[in-house]
Chain A
Amino acid sequence: MRAVRAAETAPTLHPWLVHAEKLRVRAGRHLAVDGLDLTLTAGVHGVLGPNGAGKTTLMRALSTVVKPAGGSLTLLGAPVDGRADLREVRRQLGYLPQQFGFYPRFTIREFVAYMAWLKEMPKAAVPDAVQRAIDRVGLTGKADARMKTLSGGMLRRAGIAQAVVNDPRLLLLDEPTVGLDPEQRLEFRDLLRDLAAESCVLVSTHLVEDVVAACTDVLLMNEGRLLFQGTPDDLIARGGQSDAGDSPAERGYSALLRRHRSTV
């Protein structure tokens, strides 16, 4: 059980939790996201794409770290481009960056509590929310271990814990399964399904199998644009026996990319 904020039950006029139109975002000097149109509702959305497709740059724009260079971007009904006040959106945001920096001397509990505090959660709610987030990622026994003593997979899970501590309505996870062993990946998929019930989850990954197993919706990005949006079954249906890949989904993925490349 969690406390429901008034803002969550207030009527809203926006049908989409994420809405981008002709979005352009720079990574350095390069336009890594270039004319992307995107609408997302609740559920788990998996973002696939080759290296350099602009997945991480899109995540950084959605997390409000970088300001879009052009187009429009609306998160949870509020514009986040230009000079917009980002506080209300940021309170309802969870983000795991690809490069996850942390404080080596902090324990997991302190780190997650610190993030909960920065997310302006009510003070009294923080200790329980922190415990619940740590339990959800399976780090209960390690809660008071210093972060410098953790393995790569544990750090990744600590990163997921801080992202979900405020029960975000929009959760952005950039390569969350890196460093997780197969069993932990299965647990992570369960957690994703659990989170999807109440929020919009966007997972960027290079593992096609993670997307098919845990996502309600697949997005395929290439060269800064959206190439495909559909269900995992749609993705599978695109693949033929002659396409590269070890599974039907991987064959669908390579078929979509191949078809796109042959048309440009």
Chain B
Amino acid sequence: MTHPTTTILARYADGGHGLDDAALWSIEVHLDVCADCRARLAARTTPATAELLDRVAASLDRAIDAGPAPARHPAPAAAVHRRWLAWTLLPWLAVTVAVLGCGVLLDSVEPSLPSLVLLLAPVAPLPGVAVAWSQRIDPAWELIATTPAAGLAMVLRRTLAVLVVVLPALLVAGVSTGTSLALTLLPCLAFTAATLALGAFVGVWRAAIGLALAWSAAVLLPSVVTRSLSPVLQSGSTAVWAVATAALAAIIAPAATRFRRLTSGN
């Protein structure tokens, strides 16, 4: 590396008079890479240059003071997303847990009634799942529906968030009333899978409402009215629920393309 001579650097510092464009250019290229010559140049700045630099520094300081404060550590988007999910799902999950709590109370007050915890377990996740993939609840759904993240993976993530709350609540309710845990948790999972499987074709929201109504009409209300637990929730049916859950879950993956758009029926 050949460093520019002191005379040339001095001339450069004084405005480059007497140096042609090629010479100026090669000095600048060299200064870019050579800290020693930058230091030599700094020592030779003319009073006019020093004054200019001071003025620039002062006006930059003023502009920085007047401008907005630097961004504080912005929350990572994933954390923002979790917060949104919590705010959106919370009311629905709170209602679910409250209804389950009432079921537990009634079970202990009225032992002659069939277990309400058992009867409510299949429909307990449905409000949350319905909200997980619906244009009714999410104000920004039209934006979200155009992002690559929209699709089955997003639906499953949100459904998981619902189950993380609903399953422990059912577990506590089941243990406190002494009902069969398999017959509490398996129907809950089966109905969750059924909502998504049916939702692939008619929309998750409609599927959740349809399944909840069907369960209420076919099992929940008759059991309460006749004061005897429906055979579908008797101890012999555990295997059937397990098979149904697996079969319904198996339908969901091939139907993934149907979750790409959020428009019809959701």
Contact = CB atoms under 8 A, between A and B. Distances in A.
Interface of A: 60, 63-67, 83, 85-88, 90-91, 93, 95, 97, 99-103, 105-106, 109-110, 113-120, 123, 126-127, 130-131, 140-141, 143-144, 162
B144 A118 contact: yes
A90 B149 CA distance: 9
B150 A118 contact: yes
Contact of A65 (B75, B80, B81, B145): B145
B33 interface: no
Contact of A120 (B75, B84, B87, B148): B148
A109 B71 CA distance: 10
B236 interface: no
A67 B143 contact: no
A106 B87 CA distance: 11
B234 interface: no
Contacts of B87: 105
Contact of A117 (B81, B139, B145, B261): B81
Interface in B229-266: 257, 260-263
A82 to B, nearest CB: 9
In this complex, the member of A60, A100, A113, A131 whose beta carbon has the largest number of chain B beta carbons within 10 angstroms is A113
Contact of B77 (A87, A90, A116): A116
Contact of A103 (B84, B149, B151, B260): B84
B1 interface: no
Contacts, number: 98
B68 to A, nearest CB: 5
Contact of B71 (A97, A101, A103, A144): A144
B261 A65 contact: yes
B140 interface: yes
Contacts of A97: 142-143
A201 B80 CA distance: 29
Contact of B261 (A66, A87, A103, A162): A66
Given A66-B261, A67-B263, A113-B74, A101 B142 contact: yes
Contacts of B71: 109, 127, 131, 143-144
Contacts of A91: 148
A106 B74 CA distance: 12
A114 B140 CA distance: 11
B77 A113 contact: yes
A67 B80 contact: no
B147 A101 contact: no
A130 to B, nearest CB: 7
Interface residues of B, number: 32
B149 A101 contact: no
Contacts of A123: 76
Given A105-B87, A117-B78, A141-B68, A65 B140 contact: no
A88 B260 CA distance: 12
B148 A126 contact: no
Contact of A102 (B68, B80, B139, B262): B139
B92 interface: no
A67 B261 contact: yes
Nearest to B263: A66
Contacts of A144: 71-72
Contacts of B260: 64, 85-86
B6 interface: no
Given A85-B260, A110-B74, 8 more contacts: A64-B145, A86-B148, A87-B148, A91-B148, A106-B80, A117-B78, A120-B148, A144-B72
B99 to A, nearest CB: 27
Contacts of A116: 77
Contacts of B80: 106, 110, 113-114, 117
A103 B139 contact: yes
B84 A65 contact: no
A109 to B, nearest CB: 6
Interface string B40-74: 00000000000000000000000000011001101
4 tightest CB-CB pairs across the interface, nearest first?
Answer: A117-B77, A101-B139, A118-B147, A90-B148
A228 B71 CA distance: 47
B146 interface: yes
A116 to B, nearest CB: 6
Contact of A101 (B75, B141, B257, B261): B141
Nearest to A140: B68
Contacts of B140: 101-103
Contacts of B143: 95, 97, 100-101, 115, 162
A143 B68 contact: yes
B149 A119 contact: yes
Contacts of A66: 261, 263
